[in-house]
């Protein structure tokens, strides 16, 4: 699929206490009529058109929101259930009441339905920002990165590598193509924003221009009202192609 065929990013906003979320088209400044039945969970990631969450039993779920319209039969594989996060020395009682915050960021390498053979899920978990991986259809338990690599703040997949940025502004690469503990390389240190013609990055409170280091084209009054009235944070999503 070419880049011009991709749908623009949208914000998913929880619109009530009944677990209904609605997409907001920021480009058209319009709350769409679609009602998506996604529950009251907190989502810790949005990647390849799927939402990632942690349940009360610490299992991880991948949800395709656009296969879950209210009043319609839920499409097959609209939710994919993964094994629970259960690292060594896990203090489950400490996190029992806030299990949905145990993972605070997550990403996937490929669509779990369209390209399941290449789909790897990465999560940043626990207060120390540790990293764990699982390859769909290949593992029944998570692979936990070496405990020396903590305070991970961002994670993203590029081709067959997983890249992460830690609290010390180091760019790390993780080779997660095998079952063993992933090999880790420090790609760069002291990462800084350099160069010109840098893109604007969507932000939850407006559009942040990296070049000028300022917000511009702030959200409309309607969108700000919708987000203020929501009982949970909105989340960005790029809709995946639906089969």
Q: List pLDDT tens digits, range 122-157.
A: 999 998 999 999 999 888 899 998 878 889 999 999
With respect to residue 223, please indicate whether it lies within any of the assigned structural domains: no
Whether 210 maps to a domain, the answer reads no
Query: From CA 139, how far away is CA 129, in angstroms rounded?
Result: 22
- In the predicted model, is pLDDT for residue 179 greater than 90? no
Average pLDDT over residues 99-105: 91
pLDDT in tens, 194-230: 443 433 344 444 555 556 666 555 677 788 788 888 8
Domain tally for the chain?
1
Q: Does some domain include residue 134?
A: yes
Given the structure tokens 């903590």, which residue do they identify? 150
In this prediction, residues 166-180 reach a mean pLDDT of: 82
Residue 180 confidence (pLDDT) above 80: no
What's the sign of the alpha-carbon dihedral 150, 156, 160, 161?
A: negative
Instruction: Identify whether 111 is part of a domain.
Output: yes
> pLDDT class for 88, splitting at 50, 70, 90?
confident
Query: Is the residue at 58 inside a domain?
Result: yes
Q: What is the mean pLDDT of the chain?
A: 81
- CA separation for the pair 136, 115 (Å, rounded): 10
Sign of CA dihedral 229, 230, 233, 239: negative
CATH of the domain at 100: 2.130.10.10
CA distance 157 to 172: 12
Residue 92 lies in a domain: yes
Q: Find where tokens 């206490």 sit.
A: 17
Has residue 133 been placed in a domain? yes
Query: Which domain does 118 fall in, by range?
Result: 41-200
In terms of pTM, does the model score above 0.85? no
Beta bridge partner(s), residue 30: 25
Domain membership of residue 135 (yes or no) is: yes
Residue 63 above 80 pLDDT?
A: yes
| Segment 53-61 mean pLDDT | 94
Do residues 136 and 120 make contact, with C-beta atoms less than 8 angstroms apart?
yes
């Amino acid at each position: 699929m070419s880049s011009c065929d991709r749908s623009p990013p949208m914000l998913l906003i929880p619109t009530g206490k009944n677990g209904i979320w609605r997409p907001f088209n920021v480009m058209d400044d319009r709350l769409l009529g679609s009602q998506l039945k996604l529950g009251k969970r907190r989502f810790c990631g949005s990647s390849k058109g799927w939402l990632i969450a942690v349940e009360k039993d610490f299992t991880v779920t991948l949800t395709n929101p656009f296969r879950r319209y209210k009043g319609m039969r839920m499409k097959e594989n609209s939710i994919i259930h993964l094994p629970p996060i259960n690292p060594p020395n896990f203090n489950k009682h400490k996190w029992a009441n806030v299990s949905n915050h145990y993972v605070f960021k997550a990403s996937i390498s490929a669509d779990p339905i369209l390209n399941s053979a290449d789909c790897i899920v990465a999560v940043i978990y626990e207060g120390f920002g540790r990293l764990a991986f699982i390859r769909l259809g290949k593992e029944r338990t998570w692979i936990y990165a070496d405990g020396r690599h903590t305070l991970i703040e961002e994670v993203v997949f590029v081709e067959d590598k997983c890249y992460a940025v830690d609290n010390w502004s180091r760019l790390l690469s993780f080779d997660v193509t095998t079952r063993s503990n992933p090999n880790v390389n420090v790609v760069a240190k002291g990462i800084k924003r350099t160069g010109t013609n840098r893109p604007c990055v969507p932000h939850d409170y407006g559009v942040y221009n990296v070049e000028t280091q300022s917000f511009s084209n702030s959200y409309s009054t309607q969108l700000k009202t919708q987000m203020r009235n929501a009982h949970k944070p909105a989340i960005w999503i790029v809709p995946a192609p639906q089969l």
